[in-house]
Amino acid sequence: MTPSATAATDSTVVDRPAAATEPASAAAPARKRKVAPYLVDCDCHHTWRQIDDVFPYLPRRYVESIRDFGPMLPKYPYTNVRNNSGLAFRVDHPVEPDTDLAEFTIEHHVEAYGIDAALLTGSSVYSAAGLPDLDYATALCRAFNDYTLEHWVAKDPRLLMTIAIPVHAPVEAAAEIERIGSHPAAAAVMMPAGARSPFGNRFYDRIHAAAADQGLPIVTHFGCEGQGPTNAPTAAGFPSYYLEMRMARPQIAQAHSASLICEGVFERYPTLKWLFVEVDTWWIPGLLWHFDADWKAVREYTPWVKRLPSEYFREHIRVGTQPLQLPPGRQDAAAFLRWMHAGEVLVYASDFPHWDWDEPTPTAGQFPKELRAAVFGGNARELLGLD
């Protein structure tokens, strides 16, 4: 789980960088100044070009089925912003039909910003969590993991992987974690947010145990909500518009966080850590205040929760910075970051290469200097076990 790339010794950080993300160009991008001594991106998406790319890793019966009927992966009934070649790359990214996507990511993101470790968070198989055929979901996740190792991780030691698992098949998911969890590039386990039950539920205990045994954190990224048999994207049901859908992300993260703490997951697995990415950050202070107050009043219902919920959250849960919305005034922003314990809880997450990604330089400019080393590297380094 340790990238062999050497951390930069230049600890210079910028005070207030330009606010706009610079568009990519066909030429190799100029290298930007590092925003932290050791820079970690906890949400760097990778993908296949088409599902045919994983055919060499799939059993023949699934290859034949996909050729006959398509991948049968459930999809969102919402449109997103137009992207490049259907690959979720920004339209201004110079991605051509013959572009090696891993090499492009290394050149235009990892090298350009001096990133020391980039956690590959996929998205190609998030929808596997909505497949009713558990055997197919398991095979697809396994194939994507093997594809990731050969076509992404093997090209640069700074690329780390999240292990794709069939979330709704805990026995098979645990086996996949055990199969690949000891690989040096395996840094975390991916559980996309869409599910039938909140993630603290004992249904997932085999997954919790396997991740803890391997010393791997679990990552939950927005994805697969309302697809197949998973629950609706919001507590009120299905929204009408994509904008509404985006507003659902914080409530899903809050539900999973409350479940993990109330079900006693971190008491049973005291070394387990959990990372939420692309779920906003503004909800953290309110949840912790409310959670602590209510726990004091009704804690007899969950006697295994032995400490304030905020203490479990601060010790075990991390949240990606993207998308980052801070109050406009410096004093208000500083208070807000203090309320959410940003120096302990937040980790930098770019969401590269999507249209709404957060470039390291302007994102760092929204944080006071004294927090940048922790948010942009130190917290993630501890979370992922990077030496």
Q: What is the pLDDT of residues 348-373, one digit of tens each?
A: 999 998 888 889 999 999 999 999 99
Q: For 34-69, what is each residue's pLDDT tens digit?
A: 899 999 999 999 999 899 999 999 999 999 999 999
Q: Look at residue 359 and tell me if it is in a domain.
A: yes
Q: How far apart are CA 146 and CA 115, in angstroms?
A: 24
Q: Assess whether pLDDT exceeds 70 at residue 85.
A: no
Q: How many domains does the chain have?
A: 1
Banded model confidence at residue 78, pLDDT cuts 50, 70, 90: confident
Structural domain including 312 reads 42-384
Helix (H) or strand (E) holding 303: none
Q: Within 10 A of 333 (CB to CB), how many other CB atoms are there?
A: 15
Q: Look at residue 20 and tell me if it is in a domain.
A: no
Q: How far apart are CA 172 and CA 206, in angstroms?
A: 9
- CATH no. for residue 214? 3.20.20.140
Contact 301, 240 (CB under 8 A): no
Q: Assess whether pLDDT exceeds 50 at residue 119.
A: yes
Which pLDDT does position 263 carry in this prediction? 98
Q: Per-residue pLDDT averaged across 242-250, rounded?
A: 88
Banded model confidence at residue 83, pLDDT cuts 50, 70, 90: low
Q: Look at residue 140 and tell me if it is in a domain.
A: yes
Q: For 175-223, what is each residue's pLDDT tens digit?
A: 999 999 999 999 999 999 888 999 999 999 999 999 999 999 999 998 8
Please tell me the total number of residues recorded for the chain in this structure. Answer: 387
Q: Look at residue 185 and tell me if it is in a domain.
A: yes
Which pLDDT does position 181 carry in this prediction? 97
Which pLDDT does position 12 carry in this prediction? 31
Q: Look at residue 363 and tell me if it is in a domain.
A: yes
Q: Look at residue 175 and tell me if it is in a domain.
A: yes
Banded model confidence at residue 297, pLDDT cuts 50, 70, 90: very high
Selection from 278, 246, 259, 266 nearest residue 347 by Cα: 278
Banded model confidence at residue 82, pLDDT cuts 50, 70, 90: low
Q: Look at residue 47 and tell me if it is in a domain.
A: yes
Contact 136, 62 (CB under 8 A): yes
Q: Which of 36-40, 91-95, 299-303 has the lowest mean pLDDT?
A: 91-95
pTM score: 0.90
Q: Per-residue pLDDT averaged across 122-126, rounded?
A: 89
Which pLDDT does position 248 carry in this prediction? 86
Q: Look at residue 22 and tell me if it is in a domain.
A: no
Q: Which of 12-21, 257-266, 272-281 has the lowest mean pLDDT?
A: 12-21
Contact 176, 138 (CB under 8 A): yes
Q: Assess whether pLDDT exceeds 50 at residue 16.
A: no
